[in-house]
Amino acid sequence: MSEELAARPSNFIRQIIDKDLQQGAHQTIQTRFPPEPNGYLHIGHAKSICLNFGIAQDYNGTCNLRFDDTNPEKEDIDYVNAIMDDVSWLGFNWDGEVRYSSNYFEQLHGFAVELIEKGLAYVDFSDQETMRSLRGTLTQPGTNSPYRDTSVAENLALFAKMRAGDYKEGECCLRAKIDMTSSFMCMRDPVLYRVRFAHHHQTGDAWCIYPMYDFTHCISDAIENITHSLCTLEFQDNRRLYDWVLANITIEVTPHQYEFSRLNLEYTVLSKRKLIDLVTGNHVSGWNDPRMPTIAGLRRRGYTAGSIREFCTRIGVTKMDNLVEMSMLESAIRDDLNVNAPRAMAVLDPIKVVIENYPEEQVEILNAPNHPNDESMGTREVPFTRELYIEAEDFREAANKKFKRLVIDKEVRLRNAYFIKANRFDQDADGNVTTVYCTYDPDTLGKDPADGRKAKGVIHWVSATHSVPAEIRLYDRLFNVPNPAAEEDYLQVLNPNSLIIKQGFVEPNLANLEVGKGVQFERTGYFCRDSEAHNLTFNRTVGLRDTWSE
């Protein structure tokens, strides 16, 4: 084992792999990431991506990207493309070509025929209500279907007619013949194939019967020589069906399934059904709305691939279900951007400052560091003029000693510039301050006054004549409660302030900021330039500190 691998956090899956390699159970490691293309990937999928691709990388193995595309009515090629984009953006490369379970439809059909020939599958014409009533409950065993003892020859003929399209949707299905008295519901003669006259994004109209996920998944793993099939705990009982299918067909490789806890994250939902409801119900602007927990939404909000990978490392891999604090995800991106994001100034709620003793037409170009702790990031030019904008909250007519900003007859330093003192101000008809009139000390650029005076505080600013107008979107958590999924109606706890839009001003150099690039607005938070807006728009990625914990 390499030193780099040995230094990585271990978990029970890596311990299993270490043991398998030491005992010679496997010579190489082959994993796969098998999403269903029926929606966008979310942060929970990122955990699985990092696990499967990370293990393949660390053990010099390979990881397949395979779409388990067995439900064409809910799938779409746009989802396929979005998923491939997300995996690549996270920094992972899959082995060879993208794979699809639909690539194996003919083989899957052949294995279904084999089960029929062995007397282990039958065609059932019971309607859904009847099948449900015969299935039993968690405390009551199921009852055999009246079609369960149909002969092998007749079942083969009936299944052939299913494939030929001779039956309507819902008229019949192919079921495994296992055990209707099993304590595991998934083993009570589960459905293997159903009739669907649906166009498939890969196979077109070649098929009118489609295999069920549980039948398809294990066989696809075996076909691809997967050594460790990793999935979340809700599939733990289904492992019995996974093993049963592989044990009863003629196939060389029999992978083993291992389950780990899925990611549950505070202040959001990760159920694909609920996410679809948020999109279709117009509670968000789309799958990549920056409030969504999708990888596309996080990316648009300004999260970096590195921060998401680091978050997945921090939360680890266990068998214990828990609710991960949102602050852990936010901490990962703060740590990233604190080091890597350049600094700039932006004013979100502007009021004007007029420096009355500064020449009216003068434009002074000041140099400001792009990062206070990293000189290699260089400096930027910031125009300084007689008229500036500052934040409305940074001025008060009078205040106590705790207020460290601009107050009448008190001095503050303008960030990277001069001392100024407020002398008087104008208000509008509603009593809102509109303009503050100040004087500046020209001998305080980059230094304190010779007489030892100290500024009350430091505030940020932009030139009123040279700054650029920008829309600034203050995104926050989508829900008001830590566990919205536990609510009777999760839509009733949506956060009405999850998006607040400001019309502010930013340094002129930010007009050329790369789309998606992160930047710290000094004293305000981390932002990125929006990837879809036509005008200059910045999305708040995260605040400078966690205000929800206060």
Q: Are residues 281 and 333 in the same domain?
A: yes
Q: Are residues 187 and 108 in the same domain?
A: yes
Domain boundary among 219, 247, 262: 262
Of 148, 196, 272, 415, the catalytic one is 272
Q: What pLDDT is stored for residue 6 in this prediction? A: 47
Residue 227 to residue 95: CA distance in whole angstroms? 14
Q: What pLDDT is stored for residue 1 in this prediction? A: 39
Q: Are residues 441 and 513 in the same domain?
A: no
Q: Are residues 244 and 337 in the same domain?
A: no
Low-confidence ranges of the chain (pLDDT < 50): 1-6
Could you tell me if 69 and 325 are in contact, meaning their C-beta atoms sit under 8 angstroms apart?
no
Whether residue 92 is contained in a domain is answered as yes
> What pairing do the DSSP bridges indicate for beta strands 346-347 and 458-459?
unpaired
The dihedral over CA atoms of 52, 55, 56, 59, expressed in degrees to the nearest 10, equals -170
Whether residue 145 is contained in a domain is answered as yes
- Where do runs of H (alpha helix) occur along 210-363? 213-223, 239-247, 272-280, 295-301, 305-315, 326-340
* Whole-prediction pTM: 0.94
Domain count, the chain: 3
Could you tell me if 472 and 348 are in contact, meaning their C-beta atoms sit under 8 angstroms apart?
yes
Q: Is the C-alpha dihedral spanning 387, 391, 396, 402 positive or negative?
A: negative
Q: Are residues 88 and 159 in the same domain?
A: yes
Q: What pLDDT is stored for residue 549 in this prediction? A: 62
Q: Are residues 533 and 442 in the same domain?
A: no
Question: Would residue 161 show up in a list of annotated catalytic residues for this protein?
Answer: no
The per-residue DSSP string of 458-484 comes to: EE--EETTT-EEEEEEEE--SBSSS-G
Which residue reads 């008001």 in tokens?
A: 480
User: CB count, 10 Å around CB of 136?
Assistant: 16
Residue 511 to residue 321: CA distance in whole angstroms? 45
Of 14, 36, 330, 410, the catalytic one is 36
Q: Give the tens place of pLDDT for each residue, 482-530.
A: 999 999 999 999 999 999 999 999 999 999 999 999 999 999 999 999 9
Whether residue 166 is contained in a domain is answered as yes
Of 74, 196, 262, 274, the catalytic one is 262
Question: Would residue 240 show up in a list of annotated catalytic residues for this protein?
Answer: no
CATH at 380: 2.40.240.10
| Domain around 380 | 346-460
Domain boundary among 422, 440, 460: 460
Whether residue 455 is contained in a domain is answered as yes
Whether residue 465 is contained in a domain is answered as no
Q: Are residues 504 and 380 in the same domain?
A: no
CATH at 41: 3.40.50.620
Q: Are residues 189 and 243 in the same domain?
A: yes
Question: Would residue 262 show up in a list of annotated catalytic residues for this protein?
Answer: yes
Could you tell me if 130 and 210 are in contact, meaning their C-beta atoms sit under 8 angstroms apart?
no
Q: Are residues 36 and 54 in the same domain?
A: yes
